[in-house]
Amino acid sequence: MHSGRTGRPDRVQPEDLNEIVRKRIASFGYAFQGWVYALRTQMNTWIHATITTAVTVVGIWVRLDVLEWAIIVLAIGAVWALEFMNTAVEAIIDLVSPEPHPLAKVGKDVAAASVLVMAGAAAIVGFLILGPPLIERLRPLLAALLN
């Protein structure tokens, strides 16, 4: 709601606040339903979940700093976001093109490629950030095993 004169948003009326809050809470519920749908129907989401967990555990173990965590979180978030968009694209294509069609295949393949590219980039980011401190942490263990 904008005021025509000033272009600024109108003030929220107290009686409208409950409806606004209810709609915001509902939107989180819809997003959660989408996440659950992806986990139930897409094998790759379980791969992402496993890698997310492993990276988080290793990051805690090697004591990443704040900037390193920020980069890792952005990389992981980008992979998850693209996986969810890929799932949405596939569902929409299946809805509008239930029969196989060359363009439907292109749409699905390109959406899947976007996830692959980001997952590869995230893996490189993970190795660059986690690799050196992980090697440092494992060095005494490796030395003991080799002696």
Q: Tens digits of per-residue pLDDT, 118-142?
A: 999 999 999 999 999 999 999 998 8
Q: Which helix (H) or strand (E) holds 112?
A: helix 102-146
> What pLDDT band is residue 145 in, cutting at 50, 70 and 90?
confident
Distances (CA, A) of 67 to 62, 70, 128, 129: 14, 5, 13, 10
- Residue carrying structure tokens 């196989």: 100
Mean pLDDT of the chain: 93
**Which DSSP state fits 65?**
-
> What pLDDT band is residue 4 in, cutting at 50, 70 and 90?
low
CATH of domain 43-146: 1.10.287.3610
Give residue limits of the domains in the chain. 1-41, 43-146
pTM value?
0.82
**What is the structure's pLDDT at 66?**
98
